[in-house]
Structure 1
């Protein structure tokens, strides 16, 4: 049965957490709290002021820490940014995994859920400010490029799992093509219909168009062998 009633999505209007941290297993809990405080402060600077504000001194000041206390937890800026982006994508993975666990739903229902969650998240200030900045930086900074590629590879895993279920006849490259196309199509809406962008008010209808299109593409795609 085709999935067309997008208004019945179980995860509609659920917000993705800003960051998600691993469960605290032993160790000194104060240390975990401090690391989380540092990463939250770094995210706030990234959202409000951009990547250039992410200096160790600015982050330390935002946390009320001495620079030596900060480097005790994160020895380098690169280590801190890697942990920040890991916590950022982990928040998405938690929600995607929750959707994938609804195995009693049709795979097209789960695809609509995942895509709807991403498209709604695009309208947040965090997502609209952070991701386009990372895209631009990735053109000139090898470290950022590698982190961004890792981030999106992890984010596409849920799409790949659903596409594989919907299209077991496709080879791995065909499934990757579909997952990549869907991911790129959604991300592209950020600069047009994201937070305070010109078409933000039309995002609800754009979401419906996108999901209906993705469902149809996954069902009908035929890979051209080269």
Structure 2
């Protein structure tokens, strides 16, 4: 199906939640609420002020908690950041998994849905501010680098599943390379056409170019 027939499909009406938390397994409800409040406040700080603002004292202050109450829920800053990024990627996984369940659609349509969802999400303030910040930090902070690599590995799983369905003839490494290329190509648009970036107004056209290109390369890719 040509991309012109996909332009009004489901991803135009889907938005990724800021964070997604695991189902509650009983226990004290207020404790769950507090953890979720802490992580939501940490995300707000990350978006509005950057990673350097994510000190335990600053997060506690924003939440209206004493530092001892904060460390009861997250003993260290690293533990809090790990939980924050986990909740962030889980929000994407929920939407990706929903698209994979579109059994009335072809793999090509589902690939277009997932890529369209990601490209639409790039236009949000949250994504434009958070992810480039994490990329830069990963150059100097091994902990952040490891978390970011884990985040993108999880995000590529849905792409890999569809590529495997479309191209069972390819070796596993070739399918992984295609998924990595597609993911990297989409993320690279963030600094050019993301929220308040120079080419934000051209994002519809860039989105069309990207999805047409991804569909074509998956269909025709050959190792020479």
Q: For the superposition of Structure 1 and Structure 2, which TM-score range results when normalised by the shorter chain?
A: over 0.9
Structural mapping, 1:1-226, within 5 Å: 4-224=4-224
Name the CA shift for 1:74/1:19 in 2 (closer, same or farther; >3 Å). same
Q: How far apart in 2 are the matches of 1:146 and 1:46?
A: 18
Shift of the alpha carbon at 1:6? 2.1
CA contact (8 A) 1:193 1:200 kept: yes
Aligned residues: 224
CA contact (8 A) 2:3 2:211 kept: no
For structure 1, list consecutive stretches of 5 or more residues without a partner in the other structure.
none
Q: Deviations over 1:145-204 (max 9, x none)?
A: 000000000000000000000001001001001000000000000000000000000000
TM-score of the superposed pair, with normalisation by structure 2: 0.98
Q: How far apart in 1 are the matches of 2:218 and 2:40?
A: 37
Give the 4+ runs in structure 1 shifted more than 6 A.
none
Partner of 1:197, secondary structure, is: coil
Name the CA shift for 1:96/1:105 in 2 (closer, same or farther; >3 Å). same
Q: How far apart in 2 are the matches of 1:171 and 1:2?
A: 27
For structure 2, list consecutive stretches of 5 or more residues without a partner in the other structure.
none
Q: How far apart in 1 are the matches of 2:110 and 2:152?
A: 19
Shift of the alpha carbon at 1:58? 0.2
CA contact (8 A) 1:41 1:63 kept: yes
Q: What CA RMSD, in Å, does the superposition of the two structures yield over aligned residues?
A: 0.9
CA contact (8 A) 1:12 1:117 kept: yes
CA contact (8 A) 1:6 1:208 kept: no
CA contact (8 A) 2:111 2:162 kept: yes
Partner of 1:8, secondary structure, is: coil
TM-score of the superposed pair, with normalisation by structure 1: 0.97
